């Protein structure tokens, strides 16, 4: 019985951890075209919960990137929202490298658009955007896009 309870506990912990990560479909159109945009909307950001979005985009050519996210204040006092972008060259090595600096939004306006640009060409296979809020309140991720430019 102890094993069964332990297994249920571990499974529930895994489901909770997975609920905070959103994996977005592969960027198939990128391989045939130049720039590719992927837009998803309406993800809530509550209190101090971090939301992670993983973009898969394997390619053979180096690219530069632009990540754009639009965040809107819903209610409460979310005193800061931090947005960070990471790139990964190998899923085996789990080598996430931060792209640019973390951008902070202090929630002083009803909505804002944050842009993280990388002008250095690299060969990342996956991209991860981590958006974290602080304070009591809720913000909504209205729209986001990841643009890759072949170099």
Read off the CATH number of the domain in which 39 is found.
2.60.120.260
List the alpha helices (DSSP H) in 65-114.
Answer: none
The secondary element (H helix, E strand) that includes residue 17 is helix 2-18
List Cβ neighbours of 67 (8 Å cut-off, separation of 6 or more). Answer: 85, 99, 115, 116, 117, 127, 129, 144, 145, 146, 147
Is residue 70 included in any domain, yes or no? yes
Is residue 11 included in any domain, yes or no? no
pLDDT for res 76: 74
Q: Name the residue range of residue 118's domain.
A: 21-150
Number of domains in the chain: 1
Is residue 8 included in any domain, yes or no? no
pLDDT for res 17: 40
List Cβ neighbours of 82 (8 Å cut-off, separation of 6 or more). Answer: 102, 103, 104, 130, 131, 132, 133, 134
Is residue 118 included in any domain, yes or no? yes
pLDDT for res 135: 79
Is residue 3 included in any domain, yes or no? no
pLDDT for res 38: 54
pLDDT for res 77: 72
Is residue 69 included in any domain, yes or no? yes
pLDDT for res 12: 46
Is residue 15 included in any domain, yes or no? no
**Mean pLDDT per 10-residue segment, the chain (151 residues):** 53 43 49 49 76 84 91 81 93 90 83 91 91 85 88 81
The strand pair at 96-105 and 126-150 is best described as unpaired
pLDDT for res 130: 93
Is residue 2 included in any domain, yes or no? no
> Structure pTM?
0.75
DSSP structural state of residue 24? E
């Amino acid at each position: 019985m102890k094993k069964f309870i332990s297994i249920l506990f571990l499974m529930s912990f895994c489901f909770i951890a997975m609920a905070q990560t959103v994996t977005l479909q592969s960027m198939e159109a990128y391989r045939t075209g130049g720039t590719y945009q992927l837009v998803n909307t309406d993800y809530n950001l509550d209190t101090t919960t971090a939301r992670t979005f993983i973009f898969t985009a394997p390619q053979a050519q180096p690219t530069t990137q632009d990540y754009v996210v639009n965040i809107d204040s819903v209610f409460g006092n979310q005193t800061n929202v931090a947005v960070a972008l990471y790139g990964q060259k190998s899923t085996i090595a789990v080598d996430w490298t931060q792209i640019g600096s973390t951008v902070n939004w202090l929630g002083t306006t009803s909505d804002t658009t944050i842009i993280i640009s990388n002008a250095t060409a690299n060969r990342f296979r996956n991209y991860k955007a981590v958006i974290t809020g602080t304070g009591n309140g809720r913000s909504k991720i209205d729209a986001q896009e990841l643009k890759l430019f072949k170099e």
